[in-house]
Amino acid sequence: MAETSPTNLKTTPLFERHQAAGGRMVPFGGYSLPVQYPSGIMTEHKWTREQAGLFDVSHMGPSFLVLNNPSGDAEADHAAIAAIIEPMICGDIAGLKPGQVRYTLLLNEKGGIIDDLMVARSPKFAGSLYIVVNAGTKEGDFARIAAAAGDRARFSRADDGALLALQGPEAVGVLASLMPGVVELGFMQYGPYELNGQTVIVSRSGYTGEDGFELLCPAPFANTLWDALLADPRVKPIGLGARDSLRLEAGLPLYGHDLDETVSPIEADLGFAVSRRRREAGDFPGAPRILAERDGKLSRIRVGLIVEGAPAREGAEILDASGAAIGVVTSGGFAPSLGKAIALGFVPPAHASHGSKLQVSVRGRAQPAEVVPTPFVPHRYFRKAKAS
């Protein structure tokens, strides 16, 4: 999980907590973050699947976009703030309900993915959006959003605070013991909650495929919140290594690996992120390419692979049955929940059918691989029952 980064690494408000817990710190996204704790990646992975894992994701890019001159008409003000960000993305933000979070994609003019992000409508304040972008792209993302806002809205960064992720089947029970109201949240909903007189922004979302929450709090309150969560025996701190193996099992793409500015939403198998209203209007960046690809005119698509033998890592060639190179692995590793090697990668549509027998080249040796549905491990998000 380590990546090349400048020597003058940033630290999160929880840096000292990671050191005290024996976290092995590595450079990631310009920050010093724990890749694992003494128990090890395998144990941390399984603990998150069975109990509740606590992650420091303060390197991410939370922010707020707030209308400068609201009219007082809630729907009109929401439409106005949505109109600022929609020209950059492919999601329907105007259609969000109060407190609803939407996964969407920031696109370039050719339909390539600049970043994947979360955009949410405030449950309380009309004309306000909560936006979370990726760490590696946040400076560029923030600049784009601020430029689009102009004098119509105030853009404010919130990455000087702490962002925690509590993930796993016990997450709701743990967090509800501190903030009882969070049980009312469904998957991809958020709101402000109080703890010890401090406001914590809580969204029921995450990057593991498990039920869970992401919590934004002021930096001075970070250690208190971290300690309060870890005081529950169902919670253990989890590092970047297990975060990566969990998201890979969940079939979730990682920006800079599975997604980049050459990859479109359709190629990335993220067609669901191109909202219906936006498709019908064709009013998003790269629409001609994306709509054509949606109709079948594409040359590659992201697939999941079960790999026999050693794990195929990023950059490994994907081969057809005859041994000809047809694609490349973009994420790969061992899946602790399955006891098998798995991978994500791009292949031509003719080789993308589930059950297709392919190969991957690992250290110069071809190993059998099979295209399978993703997620590799079923998602366990909590979805509220619809009112009858």
Residue 259, pLDDT > 50, answer yes
pLDDT value for 2: 41
Give counts: helices (H), strands (E), the chain.
9, 19
- Model pLDDT for residues 64-97, shown as the tens digit of each residue: 999 999 999 999 999 999 999 999 999 999 999 9
Percent of the chain with pLDDT over 90: 96
pLDDT value for 269: 98
Starting at the earlier edge strand, list the strands of the sheet with 153-157: 101-107, 113-121, 128-133, 61-67, 153-157
pLDDT value for 366: 98
pLDDT value for 195: 98
- Model pLDDT for residues 40-55, shown as the tens digit of each residue: 999 999 999 999 999 9
pLDDT value for 7: 63
**Phi, psi angles (nearest 5°) of residue 114:** -80, -35
Between CA 175 and CA 166 the distance in angstroms is 8
CA distances from 375 to 8, 248, 371 (A): 37, 8, 12
- At 105 the three-state DSSP class reads strand
- Once rounded to an integer, what is the mean pLDDT over residues 308-334? 98
Token pair for 92:
């329907």
Tokens 């994500």 appear where? Answer: 344
Domains by residue range for the chain, with CATH: 15-59+160-249 (3.30.1360.120), 61-149 (3.30.70.1400), 299-372 (2.40.30.110)
- Model pLDDT for residues 265-294, shown as the tens digit of each residue: 999 999 999 999 999 999 999 999 999 999
Token pair for 329:
């692995």
pLDDT value for 171: 98
- Once rounded to an integer, what is the mean pLDDT over residues 165-170? 98
Question: Beta strands 113-121 and 212-217: pairing type?
Answer: unpaired
H or E stretch at 178: helix 171-178
- Once rounded to an integer, what is the mean pLDDT over residues 225-230? 98
CB 160 within 8 A of CB 64: no
pLDDT value for 12: 98
- Model pLDDT for residues 122-138, shown as the tens digit of each residue: 999 999 999 999 999 99
Residue 4, pLDDT > 50, answer no
- Once rounded to an integer, what is the mean pLDDT over residues 1-23? 81
- Once rounded to an integer, what is the mean pLDDT over residues 252-262? 98
